[in-house]
Every structure is written in C-alpha cells, then in structure tokens.
Amino acid sequence: MLAHRPACTDPPVNLLSRVQALMVDFFWDRMHWVPQSVLFLPKEEGGHGLVHLASRGAAFRLRFVQRFLIGPADLVWRPVARALLERCGGLGLAESLFLMDLKGLRLNNLSGFYGGLFKVWGLLRKERPECCGSLFWLLREPVVRGSRFVCGVGPSLQQRLCEERILTLGQVVEVLNQSRLQERVDTRWRAHLGLTEAQRPEWRALYKPSLTKRGGDLQWRILHAA
C-alpha cells in the first residue's frame, strides 16, 4: 500500500519526510551511526537497501513518462493522459511538452500527479541526437520554448505562434501545405465533367474492397492527372 500511493498520487513533501524518518528510526532504533544516504545503497555497495520514498515516487513518474512516450501503442490510458496534458498552459500539446522548456509555463490546471511529472522530468539532462531517425518525433519538435531549431524567433513571433496554436514542426508543415493548396483544385477533371462546387471527389471510395491498393493508386493518379 505504501508503494502504491506514491505511484498514483503526489503526497506532500512533509508527509514523505515524516514517514521516511519513522522508517529510519525503526531500522536504527533511533541510533543514527551513519548518514541516511548509506542506508539507501544496495547491500552489494555497503548499504541496506532501504527505500527512499521521494526517489521511489520520482521513479514511478519517470516510468509513467517512458510508457506514455514510447510504450505500447495499445495503452488504454494514453488517450486520457493525452487529454489531460493538452490542458497544460492551454497549448493543446501532449508528447511535445516533454521536448519544450516549460519554465514559466503555468501548470495550475494540471493535477498534482501530472504536474509532478514535469518536476521530475526537469531533473534530467536531455540530449537530442544530431540525426533524428524518427519522422514521428521530428514533426513533434517544438518551434517555441526550447526548440532545437535556431531560427531567432523573437518574443512577439513566439506569442503569435502560441496564439495561433502553431507550436510544433508538424503544425508548421500543415499550415504551409494548406496555404499552398488554397488555389489548387481538388481534381483537374472538374471542368471537363462539369462538376459543381458542391460536388467533391470521394477519395476513400478508391480504396474500398474489393479494389486493390494498386488499383486505387492508379485511379488516384488519374483523378489528379498525374
């Protein structure tokens, strides 16, 4: 029960300190011959393997972050966690928050547990590889607040990007694509077939069974006159 509560809640620091002191007093019978840090060491290193409650709680939170970021794709609680994290600072981000510098960001709208995730995450030193081999994480790279892209974004531009919710590289790419597609017609056959503006191509119908993907790709290219 004692190990379960730090994993699910964020106990007050004073409470953890008192419980930790009681554990040490019980172990040493109130006779502190060596520093407490020695007791927390494994027996192989000269300690007694006594549990440090604050460190155990931090380990639980880091494990939660690890499973949230790179855990199995079928985690049933990930959508709930993502919805709660998107409330952080009103940014609407989840995974990308762990790539950003959150100093000065208001965490009041997060619960104690989720706020504690970022406190523990801030204790680590993060280093990004020079070559990012994952397009998934590259598109989630933030363009504000600790971005890896040195682009000289000023405070006014950062504020505008935050207001427009353009905070990650993927969102920048999406905005650029939308701006380039504004003047482009959905299909070049519209004028030849006399289609009205209300009539739109049913792109999903190209890949419905029993059509093969190769056949759907061919029809897609024909509609785009590619």
Q: What is the pLDDT of residue 131?
A: 63
Closest CA to 127 of 143, 146, 107, 144: 146
Per residue of the chain (226 residues), give pLDDT as tens: 455 566 666 777 788 788 878 877 777 776 767 777 777 888 788 777 777 788 888 888 888 998 998 888 888 999 999 998 888 877 788 888 888 777 767 777 788 788 888 888 888 777 766 666 677 777 777 877 766 655 555 667 777 777 777 878 888 888 888 777 777 777 777 777 777 878 877 777 878 877 788 888 888 888 776 5
**pTM assigned to the model:** 0.64
Residues 68 and 119 grouped into a single domain: yes
The whole-number pLDDT of residue 1 equals: 47
CA 190 – CA 195 distance, rounded (Å): 5
* Residues 87 and 172 occupy one common structural domain: yes
Q: Where are the alpha helices (DSSP H) in 154-211?
A: 155-163, 169-181, 190-193
Q: What integer pLDDT is reported at residue 68 of this predicted model? A: 92
**pLDDT in the model for residue 199:** 80
151 part of a folded domain: no
Q: Is residue 154 one of the residues assigned to a domain?
A: no
CA dihedral angle for residue 125, residue 131, residue 136, residue 138, rounded to 10 degrees = 70
Asked if residue 153 belongs to a domain, the reply is: no
Query: Residue 78: its pLDDT value, please?
Result: 92
Look up the domain containing 168 and give its range: 57-146+160-180
Q: Is residue 155, in this structure, part of any structural domain at all?
A: no
For residues 153 and 141, give the distance between their C-alpha atoms in angstroms, rounded to a whole number. 15
Q: What is the distance between the alpha carbons of residues 114 and 84, in angstroms, rounded to a whole number?
A: 8
